[in-house]
Amino acid sequence: MLLHVPAVLDSGQVAQFRQALDGADWTDGKQTVGPQGAKVKRNLQLPESSPLRAQLGEAVLAALAGNPLYFSAVLPARTLPPRFNRYEGGGQYGFHVDGSVMALAVPAGSPPLNLRTDVSCTLFLCEPDEYDGGELIINDTYGEHEVKLPAGDLIVYPSSSLHRVAPVTRGARLASFFWAQSLVRDDGQRQMLFELDASIQALTASNADPDAVLRLTGVYHNLLRRWAET
């Protein structure tokens, strides 16, 4: 499922992110991928150890925590701390598939904790007219989709998809990106739950028969109970 989540950050928050990232120390994005990814990846990233990355990543997660559309679509169980990248001067990332399992940082002495990447997310931090190119191009079972969203908006897409970022030929494209493991592993099941939840919300808002809405809400939770891995 591809889902556009608008206004995860408001314009004031985007301005704060941009100001902080303008003075940041960027590093080669090849450092966070294996040899196959490194062949096609040409961008800059904030280093994993950067305090700014941690601080802005927390701010992204805080913004998502108050976003019911994101929660309904992703049903996140675990989320990798958000990262930040920058494409400019022809920078691009050729077709690739995201790693399927990633290690989460844990306190020293704790057992290792992995995250299965079910859902990939890109949060755009530049307006589309600030740069040329830079579209996120996603190949899924329904074909190829080009995504270039307003600053502050998020795209959610299956981590199983092949995707790429087109070369940025003017200006710079800044974004945050991260992965979530969902309570519901299967993309199709997750999509059905999302549609059902959206229908229940719409019926509730239109003062539909409360008993019928209650029964549908029961169906939602019983499906989630059946499918959720906790």
- For Ni ion, the binding residues (CB under 5 A) are 98
How far apart (Å, rounded) are the C-alpha atoms in residues 173 and 21?
12
Beta bridge pairs of residue 170: 132
How far apart (Å, rounded) are the C-alpha atoms in residues 175 and 186?
27
Name which of 141 and 207 has its Cβ closer to Ni ion: 141
Name which of 98 and 187 has its Cβ closer to Ni ion: 98
Name which of 4 and 215 has its Cβ closer to Ni ion: 4
Beta bridge pairs of residue 133: 168
- Least distance to Ni ion, CB of residue 37, Å: 8
- Least distance to Ni ion, CB of residue 163, Å: 6
Residue with CB nearest Ni ion?
98
Name which of 88 and 98 has its Cβ closer to Ni ion: 98
- Least distance to Ni ion, CB of residue 115, Å: 15
How far apart (Å, rounded) are the C-alpha atoms in residues 116 and 229?
12
Name which of 50 and 85 has its Cβ closer to Ni ion: 85
- Look up residue 104 and give its amino acid: L
- Least distance to Ni ion, CB of residue 206, Å: 39
With a CB cutoff of 8 Å and minimum separation 6, the contacts of 84 are 21, 24, 45, 46, 53, 56, 57, 125, 174, 175, 176, 177
- Least distance to Ni ion, CB of residue 200, Å: 32
